[in-house]
Amino acid sequence: MVVGVATLVVLGAVAGVVGLLLSPRRRRAAPSTAVLLGVVLAFAGGFAGYLLGPKGGAGAFLTGPAWAGAAAGALLAVVLLVLPLRRRGAGRARP
């Protein structure tokens, strides 16, 4: 169980750093925010995959569906960090 949790933390942290490095420089999130977002979404995806998929022997946490969910959550973190968010009033013409 401890190895599974540590794996999710590392997977999420790596996803956060990758998203941070791929994001536009002018709209870059704080590094701590990027890593935290990656870890939280990897945990959420891993937990959802664990709940929806078949359980491993002896209650193993990181089964195939849990890995897939964690990877999907980490990928979502990268996408959220890379895509530029529209700022309020961005569509208005400037005087």
Residue 12 near residue 39 (C-beta atoms within 8 A): yes
pTM here?
A: 0.75
The C-alpha atoms of residue 2 and residue 72 are separated, in whole angstroms, by: 21
Q: ∠18-40-19 over CA atoms, to 5°?
A: 15
Query: Each residue of 24-47: pLDDT tens digit?
Result: 777 777 888 888 988 998 889 888
Query: Each residue of 58-79: pLDDT tens digit?
Result: 556 677 888 888 888 888 888 8
Residue 77 near residue 12 (C-beta atoms within 8 A): yes
Average pLDDT in the 79-83 region?
A: 82
What was the pLDDT predicted at 19?
A: 83
Specify the amino acid at residue 29.
Answer: A
